């Protein structure tokens, strides 16, 4: 499968948007680990309609004008990872869930550590809101974009709800 990408500036640094012909496949962080998300060959395409729409929606999100994304998504991962990522999409804007709550939601109540690992491999950060998953004690835990970015995203959503 061939992927196209474009890079966009954001308040959390440059983001690399990656799409297949079917949907957005990744949002990669400026200092992302090359081992976190595995995709095939990529070519730059600033005019790809999926990437243009993803950038428009992400820009609106950061401007406080969008609370729900509609760009088509195409996740690549194991069935377990996909179940976790699908659960992320159900977390309402401005709310959080613990790893244990996600584990229970997907019918694997003791798999909270595996949920954490899948959360860390979420290829479509921000849109599949892994930043909304926190520790059971309410603490901010690991995030591919860094804890400062996680805190910024959560703060942006809290302020929008006020």
Q: What are the tokens at 101? A: 């709550």
Nearest in space to 20 (alpha carbons), one of 60, 49, 56, 57 = 49
Q: How many CB atoms lie within 10 A of CB 148?
A: 12
Cβ neighbours of residue 47 closer than 8 Å, sequence gap 6 or more: none
Q: Which residues sit opposite 124 in a β-bridge?
A: 27
Residues in the chain: 162
Using DSSP's 3-state secondary structure scheme, residue 55 falls into: helix
Nearest in space to 88 (alpha carbons), one of 132, 56, 51 = 132
Q: What are the tokens at 75? A: 């996740």
Catalytic residues: 130
């Amino acid at each position: 499968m061939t992927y196209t990408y474009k890079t966009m500036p954001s308040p959390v640094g440059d983001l690399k948007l990656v799409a297949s012909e079917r949907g957005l496949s990744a949002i990669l962080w400026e200092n992302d680990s090359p081992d976190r998300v595995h995709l095939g060959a990529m070519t730059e395409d600033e005019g790809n309609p999926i990437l243009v729409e993803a950038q428009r929606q992400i820009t609106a999100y950061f401007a406080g004008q969008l609370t729900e994304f509609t760009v088509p998504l195409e996740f690549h991962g194991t069935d377990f990872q996909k179940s976790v990522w699908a659960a992320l999409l159900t977390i309402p804007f401005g709310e959080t869930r613990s790893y244990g709550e996600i584990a229970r939601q997907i019918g694997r109540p003791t798999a909270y550590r595996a949920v954490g690992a899948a959360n860390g491999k979420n290829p479509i950060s921000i849109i599949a809101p892994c930043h909304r998953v926190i520790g059971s004690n309410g603490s901010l835990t690991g995030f591919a974009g860094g804890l400062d970015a996680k805190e910024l995203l959560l703060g942006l959503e809290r302020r929008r709800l006020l």
